Structure 1
Amino acid sequence: MKDLRWATLGTGIIANQLAQALEARGQKIYSVANRTHSKGIEFAEKYGIEKVYNNIDDVFDDENVDIIYISTPHNTHIEYLRKALKAGKHVLCEKSITLNSEELDEAIELARENNVILAEAMTIFHMPIYKELNKIIESGKLGKLRLIQMNFGSFKEYDMTNRFFNRNLAGGALLDIGVYALSFVRWFMSSKPNEILSQVKYAETGVDEQASILLKNDEEEMATVILSLHAKQPKRATISFEKGYVEIYEYPRGQEAIITYVADDSKEIIKAGDTEKALQYEVADMEEAVAGAENNMHLDYTKDVMDIMTQLRNDWGMVYPEEEK
C-alpha cells in the first residue's frame, strides 16, 4: 500500500492526537489548514509539518493530499465535506459528522459520486475490544442480546458561550457525547432501532443539556441512554444477554470488559487494545478502507446513529441556526 498523505483541517485537541498517532506509526501529517493562519504555523512547528496553507480552502486543491481529517466544530462540517469530497479527497471527519441526516445523505452521495471514502472518526468502531466482544457474541455463548444500558455525563460549568452550551456552535449533549453512546448501542444491536422515546432538559441557550432515551428494534432488543453536560456520570455500558452480561467503563476508548455468566456468577475479563492508541486504530482502518477494505469504517452505522439523533431533535423541536428555514 502506498504511503498516504494526511492533511488536518483544524488544530485542536483531536488534531494533536492525530499528529501523535501518525508519528507512532512512523508517519507525519503532510499539511495543515486552519482558519487562523498563525495557529496553523504553531501546529506545524510543533510537529515538523512541512506545509501550512495561507487560505484554509487551499487544502482541497492540493493534489498531494490523499486524506483530510476534519476536526472543526460540528456546524462547519458539511461546508468542508462538500469541498473535500467534490475535490476527490478521502475524508475522516470528527463526530458528529454532520448536524442532521439531510446533510449526511448529501455527503454520502458526494462520496459515492467522486469514488472516495467518507467516514466518521468514531473510536468505538475501531477499538479492538469491541471486535473481540463481537467474536464472543457470535459464538453464541452469551445467548441473545436483550438490553443495553448506557451512561455518559460530564460536569461543565454554566458558561453559555462555550461550545458545549452554545447554540451557534451546535452545542448540546446529544451531538457532543450522545453520539458515543448511540454508536455503542448500534454496534451491538442486531438492527437499527425503530422505536424511540425520550425526555430532554434544555440549557438556557436552548440546546439539550440533559436527555434520557429509550430505544427498541425489530428484534425487540432494547437500550437506555442517559446523557448530561451538567452532572458527572461514569462512562459505563452494560450489555445484557440471556446467559450473561458485559460491563465496560470508559467505553468511548475501551480496552477491558468484564463478562459475568449468570449460571454460576463466574466472571471473565477480556482485554484487547490500548486506550492510548485509539487514533492509531482509526488511522489504520481508514488507510485500509482507502486501499479497498470494505465497510471497516462502518458508515452504515454512522448513518443509523445520525438518523436517530435527527429524529430525537425533531421530536424535541430543537434546531440549530443553520437548520432554520
Structure 2
Amino acid sequence: MNHSLNWAVLGIGVIANEMAQALQKMGKSLYAVGNRTHEKAVKFAETYGVHKVYDCIDDMFTDEQVDIIYITSPHNTHYAFMKQALEHGKHLLVEKSITLNSRELDEMIQLAEQNHLILAEAMTIWHMPLYKKLWDMVRGGEFGKVQMITVNFGSFKEYNMENRFFNLNLAGGAMLDIGVYALSVVRSFMDEQPNQIISQWKSSPTGSDEQAAILLQNPSGQMAAVALSMHSKQPKRAMISCETGYIEIMEFPRADRAVFVDAETGKRTEITCGESRQALYYEMTDMEDAVQNADASAMQLPYSKDVMDIMTKLRKDWKLQYPKEQW
C-alpha cells in the first residue's frame, strides 16, 4: 500500500484537535469526523477543513474511503467501536486506555489478526524519539542492567463526580487515566513482564480508584514502585535506576529530555531527542508507516497488552469492576 491514507477521528476532544493539527504538519487533512453531538462535529470540521462529517457514527465504519480510525471517545465506549471498525476492515489507533480490561483487548487483538489489520494504542511513550533513544542506550548496556524503576503521577482533580475522572459509568479513576502511562514506562524498561504485583489503593467517594501504590517485580529481579493519585498533585516523574547510575525523566508522558546521573561521580548528563509538542505527529507517522509497510513493531502492542494485564489484575484484586463491565 502506498497511497495517501485517509484518517477518520471518532470523538472531538483535546486529542482530536491535536491529531488534526498533526495531520496538517504531515501535509494532509483529516478525511472524516464522527461525534455523538453532530453540531460539534460540524464546527470541528469547519475549523480543520475536514472533508466529511457523518450524520451517524456507524457510517464511519462502512465508509470505504477510510483507512485508519483514531478512537478518542471515553474508555467505556472503545470496545464496541473497535469491534465494528475491525469487522469492517479499518486499521485502528485507540486512545489510552485501549480497552477496559484484558478480555476486551485479547478479543480485539484476535479480530485484528484475523482481518490482517493494524491495531494499536495511542500511547505517546511508545513513539517519543527520546524513549526510542533511551531504550537503545539501555539495551546496548550503556548504563548496566536496569534494577529499579520508580514512577510518580498525580493530578489534583476537584471532586466533581460527574466528570470522567471519578465517574464509574465512564470508567473513571487513576488506573485507566494515568496509571496506564506509569505502567507503560515501567514495562518498556523491564526485560520481561512483572509476575509479582502487590498494591494498596484508596477509593474516591464514587468508588473509583483515587489513589494507589503498586510494587512490581519480574522473574529477573527487576523491580518497580508506582504512586498514582487523582486528588493530590505529584510530579510526572520516572526514574530508572541502573547499575552505573540513574535516568530521571520529568513530564514523562511526552518527554523530550532526560538526565543521567553517574553513580560514582554524580556527573549529570542531559539526553535530549524530539519535541514534546510533536507527540501526536510521532504517534501518527509511526501508525502510517505500520499500515504502509504491514509492520506493526513500532506500535508496541505487546507492551500495551502486558500493561492491560497488570491493570486488570490490580482492579480484580481491588474488586473494582465498572458498571456493565465483563471480565
| Shift in Å, 1:2 | 1.9
- Cα pair 1:77 1:98 within 8 Å, conserved: yes
1:315 corresponds to which residue? 317
2:229 corresponds to which residue? 228
Task: List aligned pairs for 1:54-73, cutoff 5 A.
Answer: 54-73=55-74
**Structure 1 residue identity aligned to 2:119:** L
State the alpha-carbon separation in 1 of the partners of residues 71 and 31 from structure 2. Answer: 14
1:192 alignment partner, SS class: coil
State the alpha-carbon separation in 2 of the partners of residues 52 and 139 from structure 1. Answer: 48
State the alpha-carbon separation in 2 of the partners of residues 324 and 121 from structure 1. Answer: 23
State the alpha-carbon separation in 1 of the partners of residues 90 and 326 from structure 2. Answer: 29
User: Equivalent of 1:297, from 287, 295, 299?
Assistant: 299
| Shift in Å, 1:139 | 2.5
2:32 corresponds to which residue? 31
- Specify every segment of 5 or more residues in structure 2 that has no aligned partner in the other structure, as ranges: none
1:45 is the counterpart of 2:56: no
1:128 corresponds to which residue? 129
**Structure 1 residue identity aligned to 2:267:** S
**Structure 1 residue identity aligned to 2:277:** E
Listed one character per residue, the Cα deviations across residues 170-204 of structure 1 (whole Å, up to 9, x for unaligned) are 00000000000000111110011110000010011
Larger mean Cα displacement after TM superposition, 307-316 or 263-272? 263-272
State the alpha-carbon separation in 1 of the partners of residues 209 and 184 from structure 2. Answer: 18
State the alpha-carbon separation in 1 of the partners of residues 241 and 34 from structure 2. Answer: 44
Larger mean Cα displacement after TM superposition, 259-268 or 68-77? 259-268
Larger mean Cα displacement after TM superposition, 251-260 or 134-143? 134-143
1:8 alignment partner, SS class: strand
| Shift in Å, 1:141 | 2.3
State the alpha-carbon separation in 2 of the partners of residues 306 and 323 from structure 1. Answer: 15
- Specify every segment of 5 or more residues in structure 1 that has no aligned partner in the other structure, as ranges: none
**TM-score normalised by structure 1 residue count:** 0.99
2:279 corresponds to which residue? 278
1:253 is the counterpart of 2:254: yes
Listed one character per residue, the Cα deviations across residues 113-159 of structure 1 (whole Å, up to 9, x for unaligned) are 11100000000000000111112112212111100000000000011
1:242 corresponds to which residue? 243
1:84 alignment partner, SS class: helix
- Cα pair 1:93 1:120 within 8 Å, conserved: yes
1:142 is the counterpart of 2:143: yes
Task: List aligned pairs for 1:98-113, cutoff 5 A.
Answer: 98-113=99-114
State the alpha-carbon separation in 1 of the partners of residues 139 and 152 from structure 2. Answer: 25
1:32 alignment partner, SS class: strand
State the alpha-carbon separation in 1 of the partners of residues 280 and 72 from structure 2. Answer: 13
1:310 alignment partner, SS class: helix
State the alpha-carbon separation in 2 of the partners of residues 156 and 294 from structure 1. Answer: 36
| Shift in Å, 1:324 | 5.7
1:153 corresponds to which residue? 154
| Shift in Å, 1:95 | 0.4
State the alpha-carbon separation in 2 of the partners of residues 15 and 132 from structure 1. Answer: 27
**Structure 1 residue identity aligned to 2:319:** G
State the alpha-carbon separation in 1 of the partners of residues 290 and 306 from structure 2. Answer: 20
**Structure 2 residue identity aligned to 1:196:** I
State the alpha-carbon separation in 2 of the partners of residues 324 and 84 from structure 1. Answer: 20
* Percent pairwise identity: 58
Aligned length: 325
2:150 alignment partner, SS class: strand
State the alpha-carbon separation in 2 of the partners of residues 324 and 115 from structure 1. Answer: 26
State the alpha-carbon separation in 1 of the partners of residues 178 and 65 from structure 2. Answer: 34
- Cα pair 2:203 2:211 within 8 Å, conserved: yes
State the alpha-carbon separation in 2 of the partners of residues 50 and 134 from structure 1. Answer: 39
Flag as ranges the 4+ runs of structure 1 deviating above 6 A. Answer: none
Task: List aligned pairs for 1:164-203, cutoff 5 A.
Answer: 164-203=165-204
- Cα pair 1:75 1:322 within 8 Å, conserved: no
Larger mean Cα displacement after TM superposition, 134-143 or 189-198? 134-143
**Structure 2 residue identity aligned to 1:281:** Y
| Shift in Å, 1:212 | 0.4
**Structure 1 residue identity aligned to 2:250:** Y
**Structure 2 residue identity aligned to 1:47:** Y
Listed one character per residue, the Cα deviations across residues 226-263 of structure 1 (whole Å, up to 9, x for unaligned) are 00000000000100001110000000000000001112
